[in-house]
């Protein structure tokens, strides 16, 4: 049952995240570094990364010795999902890469907390979360580069919807 719950949550996060990622003319017009991955890569990358995170969650859940530890795992994943789900609307829907960049450290720290919180229960869980941390670190650098190449954003900025 824990695998089914983890799979449903992961599919929901991927689905909602995809729906909240409005990649359109605004994003296409942004100046991006030459090392920016192609758009098609992001979906498979997130699917793999969140699949590994779900696997880590199942392993940690099964290794948890008591209800308090189950609650702690749930809280850690809950915070991570919230921070994970905030980034796309900030960047794409509000067209504010600068705000998304401010949100990134919270997402990164929530992943680090997941690694610390699960690795103590089963080291494999921590390792399964490492690609998530690495990808978000890369995405943060990409986000920072896009902000640097395209600022300012918001009211009065060129091409801004606000």
For 108-146, the pLDDT digits (tens) are 999 999 999 999 999 999 999 999 999 999 999 999 999
| Residue pLDDT, tens place only, 69-95 | 999 999 999 999 999 989 988 998 899
Residue 155 lies in a domain: no
| pLDDT score, position 7 | 76
57 contact partners, CB below 8 Å, separation of at least 6: 6, 73, 77, 118, 125
Considering the chain, what percentage of its residues have pLDDT values greater than 70?
93
Residue 34 lies in a domain: yes
**Burial status of residue 78 (CB atoms within 10 A of its CB: 0-12, 13-18, 19 or more):** exposed
Full domain range(s) for residue 94:
2-150
Instruction: Say yes or no to pLDDT of 158 above 70.
Output: no
| pLDDT score, position 149 | 96
Q: How far is the CA of 139 from the CAs of 8, 136, 142, in angstroms?
A: 25, 5, 5
| pLDDT score, position 156 | 54
Residue 159 lies in a domain: no
Q: Across the chain, what does the average pLDDT equal?
A: 89
Per the structure, the count of domains in the chain is 1
CATH classification at residue 25: 1.20.1260.100
Residue 141 lies in a domain: yes
Residue 16 lies in a domain: yes
89 contact partners, CB below 8 Å, separation of at least 6: 20
Residue 14 lies in a domain: yes
| pLDDT score, position 162 | 46
Residue 142 lies in a domain: yes
| pLDDT score, position 155 | 59
Q: Of 152, 33, 18, which Cα lies nearest the Cα of 95?
A: 152
Better-scored residue on pLDDT, 36 or 162:
36
């Amino acid at each position: 049952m824990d695998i089914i719950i983890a799979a449903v949550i992961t599919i929901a996060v991927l689905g909602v995240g995809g729906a909240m990622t409005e990649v359109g003319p605004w994003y296409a017009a942004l100046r991006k570094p030459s090392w920016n991955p192609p758009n098609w890569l992001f979906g498979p990358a997130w699917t793999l990364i969140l699949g590994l995170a779900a696997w880590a969650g199942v392993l940690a859940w099964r290794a948890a010795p008591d209800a308090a530890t189950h609650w702690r795992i749930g809280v850690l994943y809950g915070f991570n999902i919230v921070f994970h789900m905030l980034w796309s609307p900030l960047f794409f829907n509000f067209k504010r890469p600068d705000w998304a960049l401010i949100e990134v450290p919270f997402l990164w720290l929530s992943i680090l907390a997941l690694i610390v919180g699960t690795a103590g229960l089963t080291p494999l869980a921590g390792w399964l979360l490492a690609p998530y941390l690495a990808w978000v670190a890369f995405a943060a650098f990409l986000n920072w580069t896009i902000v640097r190449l395209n600022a300012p954003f918001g009211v009065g900025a060129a091409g801004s919807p606000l």
